[in-house]
Amino acid sequence: MSEHKVIDARGSFCPGPLMELIAGMKLAQVGDEIEVLSTDKGSADDIPEWIRKVGHDYLGSREEGGVWHITVKKTK
């Protein structure tokens, strides 16, 4: 059964949130959704680029109170 996991990377600067996401992706199962919380605007722009580049499903981003929530589904 797929899980929804949250990685809290608030306070870390680029590329910290991306690297934390990738470490989480390594441990996740195919089909799991991972949501990264980041206060770094650069990472909010960069993480979706990485997701598209490596071929996972980018499920979207939203910003709430200075925190970006970026969600990806592991596809492979």
Partner 1 sequence: MASRRMSIIVVSGVRERLQMAAMVASVGAVSGNEVSVFLSMNALAPFLRGAPGVAPPDGEFGAIAATKNVPSFKTLFEQAVDLGGARIHPCSMAMDVLALDRAKLEPWLGEPLGLTKFLDDARDAQVWSF
On the CB side of 50, CA atoms within 13 Å amount to 20
Decide whether 35 or 40 has the Cβ nearer to partner 1.
Answer: 40
- Name the residue type at position 18: L
Decide whether 6 or 54 has the Cβ nearer to partner 1.
Answer: 54
Least separation, in Å, of the C-beta of 53 and partner 1? 6
Active site residue 39: no
Dihedral sign for Cα 48, 51, 52, 53, please.
positive
Select from 11, 16, 27, 7 the least CA-distant residue to 71.
Answer: 7
12, 14, 46, 48: which one is catalytic?
14
Decide whether 3 or 49 has the Cβ nearer to partner 1.
Answer: 49
Q: Footprint of partner 1 on this chain (CB under 8 A)?
A: 11-16, 18-19, 22-23, 26, 50, 53-55
- CA dist 9 and 33 (Å) reads 16
Active centre residues (catalytic): 14
